[in-house]
Structures are given as C-alpha cells and as structure tokens.
Amino acid sequence: MSTPQATVPSGASRLGAPAAANATLQIRALSPVMAAEVIGQDLRQPLDDATRQRVHRAFLDYQVLVFRDQTLDKAQQIAFTQQFGQLEEHRARNRGGDDFPLLHVVNNLGADGRPSGEVKSTAWHTDKSFRPAPALATILHAVTLPPDGGDTCFANMYAAYDALPDADKAALAGVRVVHSWPMSREQGGRAMPADEIRANPPMSHALVRVHPETHRKCLYLGVHAAYLEDVPFDAGRARILALEAHATQPQFVYRHRWTPGDVLMWDNRCLLHRADTNFDAGQHPRVLHRTCLVGTPTEGQRIAREPVYAQA
Ligand SMILES: [Fe+2]
C-alpha cells in the first residue's frame, strides 16, 4: 500500500494546455486495511490525464476512494464515471423514470416516496458477479442521508486470501465457484421469471481470482456465489460459507460512515461490500446515486456446469 499522506502534483499541463483547476491532489489513507480519501478535486471538472492516472493508481492501491463535499448531478456523475471506463446499464428500474438509465437510484423509499423500512443489498456481495463481464468499479454518491448510520461496509479479499494458511491456499487452487443471480434471488425469497433466469445463466469463476491489473490473488465470493463446480452441493455451500466467514472478519473490513456530498469509488474485483441497516429505515430516507463500470471476464469464465447433488 502506498504511503499515507502522500502529496503529489496532479495538474501538470501537457503541451501548454491549461492546468486543472485543482493543482494538487492529496491521498490520505483512511484505515490500515483499505480506503483513502482523495483531497483537492472537484469531480464536476474533467480530470486531466495526470490526475486521472493518479486517481487510478490510488484506486488500485487502496481499493476504495472517498471524495468529500461533491455536488454532482446525474449527468456529471455519469461524465466522471466515463473517464475510467465503460458504463454498465442497470437492470433495476429507476424510480422517477428520467433520462438517465445509466444511473441507478439506490434508496429505501416505497411507491409513495416515503421511507419503507426496507434496505437492499445488506448481504456481502460484489456487484454483477453473475454477468459475463462482472463490474469493475461502482461509484456511489450520497444524495440524502439519515441523521446517522446507513453505513456501507467493505471487506478486502486480497487480505482475506493472504491470511489463509498455505494448505488452504493450495486446496483452493483450481476450484471453480458458480455465481448465479437466480439462485441468490431464490435464497432471498424472491422468485424470478423464466425469461430472466434464461437471460442470466450461472457463471463459473476461479474462486481465487487474479486481479487483472494488480495481478494479486483474491477470493471471489459473496451472496451470488451459489455452489462449487464439480463438488457435492452441500459440501460446496459449507466451504463457501466458511470462507466468507473468514473473509469478512473485522480485521479485513472498512466501514464507511457517510457524510453529505461523499462520492465513493470501489474496486469490485477484490472487495465485497454490503449496506448496513444501522439506521431507522422506516423513518429516514437514504438516497444515493450509483454508476458502475463494466469489467472483464475472470480467468476462464464461462457458463457453469449444473450443481452436483449427492446420491440419496
Ligand atoms: Fe452492491
């Protein structure tokens, strides 16, 4: 991990072009396990090349970046996101039905616009791990926050892998984990229409994923991880749950306590995350704007083989 409190110039101009409005960028580590605050950048402004590269480097080093006191509207958040890759389209229907299908409004509001008491995405997961090209990054911007709580928690899958005994690491080499959107919905008690099941076939991934940019090994788990390929279903489930219990211990977790204007940008390839219900979701609205970047398939990613069930 890079040295905390490093200050680097980011506004160096190229070929006489004007320097960025914010001439310096500071990176300040927020915890020993991950996360850093990026200070000195108004995200409404396009990033110059040097700044974009510096932010990208910090993203790889710290996995979660926090930009404070931002005031992005939807178009500005989309423009910020696009500087780092290709935007993902969201399947979930946007509330409000406006012109921004590339931005998903995360909220706890009912059809009447009032707090419903329900908080989504409270189980550990990594975004879109059931897709042919799972998400690279997610960007979340706080719009309306409860008076306190409503935190988002992150677990570092590099650190969780690194901490495993060597024998466990050896045993996991070559193991394939199947991430399935229909099966994770089913576990949450929500049936899925047949056409949606067909459109989301189960995906086989390396359980120990190699990050495509850092080339570090990490665990690829979360609520969409349904079973282990070619392993009896129950034994595979037990293995997944045991690994997840290991990987989400406090020493691997960073808890983000939101403040108004925060923009978070995190790396889905090496983290799990979840929303915490530590606020009164029936009383207080919690609204965040979410954009995602499309990633690349994991090593050998393909449609998975069916689960194996033990003979009766
Ligand atoms: Fe998520």
Dump pLDDT digits (tens) for 13-41: 333 334 444 458 999 999 999 999 999 99
Report the alpha-carbon distance of residue 284 to residue 291 in Å, rounded.
Answer: 23
pLDDT at 215 over 50: yes
Mean model confidence pLDDT for the chain: 90
Compute the distance from residue 128 Cα to the ligand 1 centre, in Å: 8
Mean pLDDT of 130-146: 97
Q: What is the distance in A from the centroid of ligand 1 to the CA of 71?
A: 22
Query: 87 or 310: which carries more pLDDT confidence?
Result: 87
Within its chain, how far is the Cα of 16 from the centroid? 37
Q: What long-range pairs does 7-10 form, CB within 8 A, spacing at least 24? A: 8/54, 9/50, 10/40, 10/41, 10/48, 10/50, 10/51, 10/54
Spatial CB neighbours of 99, under 8 Å, sequence gap ≥ 6 = none
Q: How far is the CA of 282 from the centre of ligand 1 (A)?
A: 21
pLDDT value at residue 23 = 58
Mean pLDDT, range 147-175, rounded to an integer: 98
118 C-alpha to ligand 1 centroid (Å): 15
Ligand 1 centroid–CA 123 distance in Å is 9
Give residue 135 CA to ligand 1 midpoint distance, Å.
Answer: 10
Domain ranges of the chain: 7-145+255-294, 157-248
**How many helices (H) does the chain have, and how many strands (E)?**
7, 17
Question: Residue 216 has which token pair?
Answer: 């570090």
3-state DSSP assignment of residue 140: strand
CATH number 3.60.130.10 given to 7-145+255-294: yes
Centroid of ligand 1 to alpha carbon of 17 (angstroms): 38
Report field, pTM of the whole predicted structure over 0.75? yes
CA 220 to ligand 1 centroid distance, Å:
14
Radius of gyration, CA atoms only, the chain: 20
- What's the gap in Å between 312 CA and the centre of ligand 1? 37
Pairing of strands 135-144, 104-107: unpaired
Q: Ligand 1 center to residue 53 CA distance, Å? A: 25
Q: How far is the CA of 44 from the centre of ligand 1 (A)?
A: 24
As a residue count, the chain comes to 312
Token pair belonging to 153 = 């928690």
Q: In whole angstroms, give the CA distance from residue 304 to residue 213.
A: 25
Q: How far is the CA of 125 from the centre of ligand 1 (A)?
A: 6
Q: CB under 8 Å to 227, separation ≥6 — which residues?
A: 177, 178, 180, 183, 233, 236, 237, 240, 307
According to DSSP, residue 221 is labeled -
How large a percentage of the chain has pLDDT more than 70?
89
Asked if 130 contacts 181 with a C-beta cutoff of 8 angstroms, the reply is yes
Ligand 1 centre from 167 Cα, in Å?
31
